[in-house]
Structure 1
Amino acid sequence: MKLLVITAIREYKKDILKMFRAAGVKNFSYREVTGFQDNSGDEVGLNWFASEMNENESILFYAFVNKEIVESFFNLTDVYNSKQGNESRIHIAVLNIEKSNNL
């Protein structure tokens, strides 16, 4: 069993839900979160708004899934991210579940 963790900007929520269906993810949880990006190290010309910390309305999904679903979801996400015309991407992390009493 794996724990699939996904973060993205809130605008990608509907697309992530479609990918969950396509990959076979039937149970998941999500939460709206605020993402931060520290731009204090960027050159002034690259930091258009001259702010050191930028906030983004984001979402965090997590789901307990089997290995096959992880691979399928990664493939769907890779295709989705490759088609994006902006810098924002769907980010995924996978954690191994060593022991659980509810799976």
Structure 2
Amino acid sequence: MKLLLITAIHEFEKNIKDILTHSGVKVFSYSEVKGFKINGGSLSSENWFSSGIAESDSLMFTVFVDDNFVDLIYERIQRFNNKQEFQSKIHIATLALENFA
């Protein structure tokens, strides 16, 4: 059993749900989160009008899934990301679970 954490901008909600349901996932949860990205490395006091921080409405999905579905989900997310023409992508991380109930 693995725990997948998937984050993306709010606009990708339907795409992620489609990827999960077409990859054999039966149950998942998600919530709205604020995504932050610091642009240009470090913040500078020379730029009074820009904080250098971009904020976006994002989603975080938590998915408990059998090991045999993980590769397919990664493959479909990679395929989706490769088709994107702008910077935002779907991000995914896998955590191994020692125990669960």
TM-score by length of 1: 0.87
The residue identity in structure 1 corresponding to 2:86 is N
Aligned match of 2:46: none
Task: Name stretches of at least 5 consecutive residues in structure 1 with no aligned partner.
Answer: 43-48
Equivalent runs, 1:60-99 vs 2, <5 Å = 60-99=60-99
Q: Give the match's secondary structure for 2:26.
A: coil
| Secondary structure of 1:78 counterpart | helix
The separation in 2 between residues aligned to 1:51 and 1:25, in whole angstroms, is 40
In structure 2, what is the Cα distance between the partners aligned to 1:51 and 1:74? 34
Cα deviation 1:53-73 (Å, max 9, x = unaligned): 110000000111011111110
Could you tell me how far apart the structure 2 residues matched to 1:39 and 1:51 are? 9
Q: Percent identity?
A: 43
Q: Which residue of 1 aligns with 2:37?
A: 37
Q: Post-superposition shift, 1:80?
A: 0.3
TM-score, reference length from structure 2: 0.89
Shift of 1:81: 0.3
Contact 1:3/1:62 (CA < 8 Å) preserved in 2? yes
The separation in 1 between residues aligned to 2:26 and 2:97, in whole angstroms, is 18
Cα displacement (A) at 1:50: 3.7
Structure 2 stretches lacking a partner, 5+ long: 43-48
Give 1:4 shift: 0.7
Q: For the residues of structure 2 that align with 1:10 and 1:35, how far apart are their CA atoms?
A: 10
How large is the RMSD of aligned CA atoms in angstroms? 1.9
